[in-house]
Amino acid sequence: MDRLIKVLFFALLVKPVVLLLLGLNVRGRNNLPDSGPAIVIANHNSHLDTLVLLSLFPLSMIHRVRPVAAADYFLGNGGILAWVALKCIGIIPLDRSGGADRETLFSGCTRALNAGDILVLFPEGSRGKPEQLSRLKKGVYYLIKERGDIPVVPAMLHGLGRALPKGEALLVPFNCDVVVGESLTERQTAAGFMNSAAESFKQLSAYCLTLPAADADDVAV
């Protein structure tokens, strides 16, 4: 039932909104993983980030794409937000209180990867200012440091922080870009991996600024 709810949510609501209101310009879609276990990492400026990234995947596999999100924000008060987060989006809740050890903190992520899911992670940790990249946190490295079989694919989102900025509830139609890079290969050390991720984001961000308006073949459908 949860799989059906998620498919319908994206087919009837998210994908039409992304297609009709955002004018999404996508490059490198072929770099997205077509099976798990895998991780997609992206910059984070808006609640639209998660929905847009998931909308790039076919409906046939969208139930296997699991965004990692803050438990305190999405589940703290229960209600409709928690229901949508768990049933429609399929988040993996992450405890940001600081009270859990690393193994416990990432247990949900580890189970999902072991089950062959694709995780969506935002290594900045929380939403930042539009078009500004904050310092990356090392959590994703601890998920993959002993798992050479798990590709980590970077994606740069541009414009979504203007279409739905942090703290705002009204969506503003705004042309947005997504550029998906090649899987990161440097993972010998945490510092090396994080530097590689940061450099990849920097290059993808620069490429976003060169993109023309969306072509018919490049919009998210």
10-residue mean pLDDT profile of the chain (221 residues): values are 90 87 86 95 86 94 94 82 92 81 87 96 74 80 87 90 59 77 90 92 84 50 46
Computed on alpha carbons and rounded to an integer, the radius of gyration of the chain in Å comes to: 16
pTM: 0.87
Which residue, among 154, 219, 162, 209, has the nearest Cα to 186 in the 3D structure?
Answer: 154
Give the span between the Cα atoms of 137 and 94, in whole angstroms. Answer: 14
**Helix intervals (H) in the chain:** 2-9, 15-21, 48-55, 71-74, 79-83, 102-105, 107-114, 139-144, 160-163, 190-208
- Taking a C-beta distance cutoff of 8 angstroms, is the pair 27, 207 a contact? yes
Torsions phi, psi of 130, nearest 5?
Answer: -55, 130
| Per-residue pLDDT, 82 | 92
CA 177/CA 171 separation, integer angstroms:
16
Cα–Cα distance, 135 to 137 (Å, whole number): 7
What is the three-state SS of 118-154? Answer: EEEECCCCCCCCCCCCCCCCCHHHHHHCCCCCCCEEE
| The pLDDT value given to residue 219 | 45
Residue 5, judged by CB atoms within 10 A of its CB (0-12, 13-18, 19+), counts as middle
Q: Return the pLDDT at 163.
A: 58
Amino acid at 91: I
CATH number of 2-211: 3.40.1130.10
Measured CA distances, 161 to 86, 112, 171 (Å): 23, 28, 10
Q: What is the pLDDT of residue 126?
A: 66
